[in-house]
Amino acid sequence: MEFIVYLAGQIHDDWREKLIKKVEERNLPFTFVSPQTNHERSDNIGEDVLGKQPSNLYKDAAASSINNFRTEVLLQKADIVIALFGEEYRQWNTAMDVSTAISMNKPTIIIRPESLIHPLKELSSKANVTVETVEQALDVLAYIFD
Amino acid sequence: MEFIVYLAGQIHDDWREKLIKKVEERNLPFTFVSPQTNHERSDNIGEDVLGKQPSNLYKDAAASSINNFRTEVLLQKADIVIALFGEEYRQWNTAMDVSTAISMNKPTIIIRPESLIHPLKELSSKANVTVETVEQALDVLAYIFD
Amino acid sequence: MEFIVYLAGQIHDDWREKLIKKVEERNLPFTFVSPQTNHERSDNIGEDVLGKQPSNLYKDAAASSINNFRTEVLLQKADIVIALFGEEYRQWNTAMDVSTAISMNKPTIIIRPESLIHPLKELSSKANVTVETVEQALDVLAYIFD
Amino acid sequence: MEFIVYLAGQIHDDWREKLIKKVEERNLPFTFVSPQTNHERSDNIGEDVLGKQPSNLYKDAAASSINNFRTEVLLQKADIVIALFGEEYRQWNTAMDVSTAISMNKPTIIIRPESLIHPLKELSSKANVTVETVEQALDVLAYIFD
Amino acid sequence: MEFIVYLAGQIHDDWREKLIKKVEERNLPFTFVSPQTNHERSDNIGEDVLGKQPSNLYKDAAASSINNFRTEVLLQKADIVIALFGEEYRQWNTAMDVSTAISMNKPTIIIRPESLIHPLKELSSKANVTVETVEQALDVLAYIFD
Amino acid sequence: MEFIVYLAGQIHDDWREKLIKKVEERNLPFTFVSPQTNHERSDNIGEDVLGKQPSNLYKDAAASSINNFRTEVLLQKADIVIALFGEEYRQWNTAMDVSTAISMNKPTIIIRPESLIHPLKELSSKANVTVETVEQALDVLAYIFD
Amino acid sequence: MEFIVYLAGQIHDDWREKLIKKVEERNLPFTFVSPQTNHERSDNIGEDVLGKQPSNLYKDAAASSINNFRTEVLLQKADIVIALFGEEYRQWNTAMDVSTAISMNKPTIIIRPESLIHPLKELSSKANVTVETVEQALDVLAYIFD
Amino acid sequence: MEFIVYLAGQIHDDWREKLIKKVEERNLPFTFVSPQTNHERSDNIGEDVLGKQPSNLYKDAAASSINNFRTEVLLQKADIVIALFGEEYRQWNTAMDVSTAISMNKPTIIIRPESLIHPLKELSSKANVTVETVEQALDVLAYIFD
């Protein structure tokens, strides 16, 4: 039995690589997918495909439709969603992905620092599990095979 | 034919009252529901019902479960969702409510200032319509009866 | 028991008015809703709400998102969908509305002239009933109370 | 991870072969399925299976039910739908397939020439991504693995 | 609180009238709907609407599509389905209606004579309740308000 | 706006009456429905309708199918479910009703004494809100209109 | 791509074996599953598992629950359903299986002799394709790969 | 064709091992998954991952959210659910798992001793099959391949 895990959330550090490395060390049967983590590529994908747009609004509209396409394809394949919220940025994409996952009955884990307990309280309350570190999320994943 | 509209989003100004007043002036058959807009009451509802909790984490957990209960009851009744994002705060609740509404196939309108185009681009791309002002949202609502 | 009927399709003649008038004559408990039938208003609604767009592509994108919002709101309320295809224009909206209605398990009636039997054959095969005239569609509606 | 892509739409040129060839050149893990692209076979399949029908109406009815059977089987297997609209013909099947796919939450890409922007605007607004060329659609597909 | 009850099944005696009369005597808040119970009208409705068909096969196809339209409209409104199987005829419509109702999560009651226990055993096993008489079905209905 | 509340759970004291009385005192727009609360009638309903059964197993099977019919009819109408677990009995029906309600996306409140925290922990974790007293459940209900 | 086909219907001749043999001869990628085709085993399975029941009613109830369990497991795995109605017996199981499959959006083929056109007309109208012989059903299956 | 079976229920004896061993002896293509069967680990998993909690209530809340995460992941993969109720303990988790499985249309088998017929009667009535011994459950599983 193999599980596909979608790693939503912050793209400004290497938390995905750290998690994947530890999963490989423990030899657990998870495959990971994620949004485009190259921020510049993610912002430009609309113009990369469709050409120059009339303004930033339309550049963003073009990019976001392709990013959402990618996310939908991968999220529908996922058995589990893990979302990491960092202290910077508004990360509404992350909130959107985890809310969508919950609505699709995907079991979800939120990782967030202590400083975000209050603003994330309603979203945490809907997720299956909320933890503070990548290691704790890994412990929850590993518990499936415990 | 009556429509119920859930007004998600920012609770720090009186945009809901303004919208509802204009709808009444135009005599349109909409009923509006919304989250708890008294910020303090929303934060304290957990302890108001369940009593003192051991720490802020648990106070927040208690409050958010009751806020989510309220939101679910009202969102399920809603035919339409309008969500307003303001420039302050992270407003992850708002992103959660609108994502949930979209997953439930509720037709949705996002209101956001020009400054939030970029961080909200993926969520805007999933909503039916995105506008910048309450008046524009009202125009879209009114168009149903046009 | 009241039924709401969404009248999809051609907006270039008065078939909706004719149908509604006959239903009223026969005193049947149907309420009718429909897309924006003022063609110009339907094409301009995006710019009417959001202001001038950079080109016709963006004007169309703005209009269509608001037209789709309206259609979704009304289609979700509908118990029955009737779609009329005329001989002119491509009417992909009509095909979209009736396909969406079928996917939502809304009982559907297609009205189309004999000349369109071949190009509409797969869509007809998915609809509940296909007829050639508004009168025949009315007979099918009335049969519910027969 | 393998993805199945249903290629809806125009059967009067070799756009499917071109797309598939390029995907193979780039060694991407997509499997493609499509409607019957032999137009004559598609029109005759009803009589090929059930024998001579009393008129063209019944010949079309017999063919379309078998074409719809095929489409349903393949569409349900698909993870992604790409639909190409050409400038000729009404192609209501294509509009039906892409609308059905959207209702089934299949991520969708529409390919259409600039000349069809206006008549396809509502359908484009519901699809995830709309592009003008097969190459652009391929870029969007490839972005999943970017 | 009002409940709508769809009365599927045999149209060769007056069991529906008997049931409805008793419900009225007990003043219970049920509204009843049913298929076309005029057998001849039900068989002819296709030709009544669409005109003479080339053979009985096509006459039956035309009638059945309109009968199914009617059933779908009414079944979707129903809160409860009661289906009576009589000893004569194959009544595959009845089996279809009750199976569809069960798949739609409509609470269902089957009424069947002792002689049909064996051939109906799998269908009985899926229905909520199976009884032998109209009176017993009425007792089950009334129990909702007990 | 009216809400229907299904009151699942213990039938050995008058907690439903107490809750309903307080709701009436506060003039809140809730309508309450519940399972059969006459224990004897609930146990005998199968034989009351179908006659003497060959043993207690079959008596129970007959009763439970009619009790489940009633519950399904009422639960589908409900907007909200409140379930009270008492200290006595196993109350698997209650656990079944609340689990079913959660799967149907009905917002749910569990009322349970402190002594049942541990055995009910997984069910509590799935419900929206868990409280200890009828008064607290009423506070949560009332918060919808706060 | 592999497809699983559930073969519902008559168990009194070897139509399944004939169909499967021809599919193997044509080397088509279909796997077939079916109900218990040993009539006696199907009737006795309840008592085979649970022991002697008090009467034929309870024997039938026990058997049917296990037969339905088997059918549900296999039907949920199926991509396609083919149902053959023969001229003998009432075969309500077959009508139930094909109606359930249609409600689950499984593409369906009905095979029935000319003599059954009239009693099966509504069910035929809901299935994707209706044919008269096993060979024709095979032609429809094979068309998927045409 | 492989089937995944979730083994819900009592964790105080080795019924799972016995069942799995017999399935292996008969060489049947079932894979089994189950909740955490180490009772202590199940109770402590919240604190094992998240650290010391302020009281038993919060320890239980933390543990249950992770147990529910595990159950959801595995239950969604399951084709079949078997739940064993023993005579001790309240086992509300078991009732929750089997009710959830039924709501998800998973075919279910309940195993319970004769002494539990009465308290489990409504749940039994909703499950596909209820038996008294692990051997009988195995017979039902094996019947799929009979």
Q: Do chains E and G touch (3 or more CB pairs under 8 A)?
A: yes
Ordered strands of the A108-111 beta sheet: A30-33, A3-9, A80-84, A108-111, A129-131
SS3 B84: strand
Chains that touch E (3 or more CB pairs under 8 A): C, D, F, G
Backbone torsion region of residue H129, taken as left when φ is above 0, otherwise alpha when ψ lies between -120 and 50, otherwise beta: beta
pLDDT, position F10: 92
* B101: closest CA of chain F, how far (Å): 13
Q: Provide the token pair at G95.
A: 């009508």
pTM for this structure?
0.97
pLDDT, one tens digit per residue, over A14-49 is: 999 999 999 999 999 999 999 999 999 999 999 999
CB E134 within 8 A of CB E15: yes
Inform me whether the pLDDT recorded for C48 exceeds 90.
yes
Q: Do chains E and F touch (3 or more CB pairs under 8 A)?
A: yes
pLDDT, one tens digit per residue, over E50-82 is: 999 999 999 999 999 999 999 999 999 999 999
SS3 G52: coil
pLDDT, position H124: 98
- Which residues in F lie closer than 8 A to residue B72 (C-beta atoms)? 105, 107, 128
Between CA F91 and CA A87 the distance in angstroms is: 45
pLDDT, position A9: 96
Inform me whether the pLDDT recorded for D63 exceeds 90.
yes
pLDDT, position A58: 96
Between CA D93 and CA D47 the distance in angstroms is: 20
pLDDT, one tens digit per residue, over B7-62 is: 999 998 899 999 999 999 999 999 999 999 999 999 999 999 999 999 999 999 99
The residue behind tokens 């806020």 is B67
pLDDT bracket for residue F94 (50, 70, 90): very high
Mean pLDDT of G49-65: 97
Low-confidence ranges of chain H (pLDDT < 50): none
pLDDT, one tens digit per residue, over A69-78 is: 999 999 999 9
* H128: closest CA of chain G, how far (Å): 6
Ordered strands of the E80-84 beta sheet: E30-33, E3-9, E80-84, E108-111, E129-131
Inform me whether the pLDDT recorded for G26 exceeds 90.
yes
Q: Where are the domains of chain E?
A: 3-35+77-143
pLDDT, position G109: 98
Inform me whether the pLDDT recorded for F34 exceeds 90.
yes
Between CA G129 and CA F98 the distance in angstroms is: 41
- Which residues in D lie closer than 8 A to residue C69 (C-beta atoms)? none
E72 shares contact with chain C (CB less than 8 Å) = yes
Q: Provide the token pair at A56.
A: 């930033």
Between CA H67 and CA H62 the distance in angstroms is: 9
The residue behind tokens 């204009």 is B22
- Collect all residues with Cβ–Cβ distance below 8 Å to H73 and sequence separation of at least 6: A3, A79, A80, A107, A144
**C109-141 burial, b for 16+ CB within 10 Å, e for fewer?**
bbbbeeebbebbbbbbbbbbbbbbebebbbbbb
pLDDT, position G1: 87
Q: Which amino acid is at D116?
A: L
pLDDT, one tens digit per residue, over B93-117 is: 999 999 999 999 999 999 999 999 9
pLDDT, position C89: 84
Residue H61's alpha-carbon distances to A106, F21, G144, H36, H116, in angstroms, are: 20, 32, 51, 16, 29
What would be the CATH architecture of the domain defined by F3-35+77-143?
A: 3-Layer(aba) Sandwich (3.40)
Nearest Cα neighbor of C100 from E88, D104, A31, F19 is D104
Backbone torsion region of residue D27, taken as left when φ is above 0, otherwise alpha when ψ lies between -120 and 50, otherwise beta: left
Which residues of chain E from 23 to 62 reach within 8 Å of chain C, CB to CB? 31, 33, 36, 38, 41, 45, 48-50
Inform me whether the pLDDT recorded for A127 exceeds 90.
yes
Tell me the β-bridge partners of D7.
Answer: D82
Q: Which long-range contacts (CB under 8 A, 24 or more apart) does C47-53 make?
A: C48/B139, C49/B131, C49/B136, C49/B139, C49/B140, C49/B143, C50/B131, C50/B136
Between CA F70 and CA G116 the distance in angstroms is: 38
Inform me whether the pLDDT recorded for C12 exceeds 90.
no
Q: Provide the token pair at G56.
A: 């034929």
Between CA G7 and CA G80 the distance in angstroms is: 9
Q: Provide the token pair at B128.
A: 């039916």
Nearest Cα neighbor of D103 from C126, E49, G65 is C126
Maximum Cα interatomic distance, chain C, rounded to a whole number of Å: 54
Inform me whether the pLDDT recorded for A12 exceeds 90.
no
Other C-beta atoms within 10 Å of E2: how many? 9
CB G54 within 8 A of CB F54: yes
Cβ–Cβ gap F64/H92 under 8 Å: no
CA A31 to the chain's CA centroid: 14
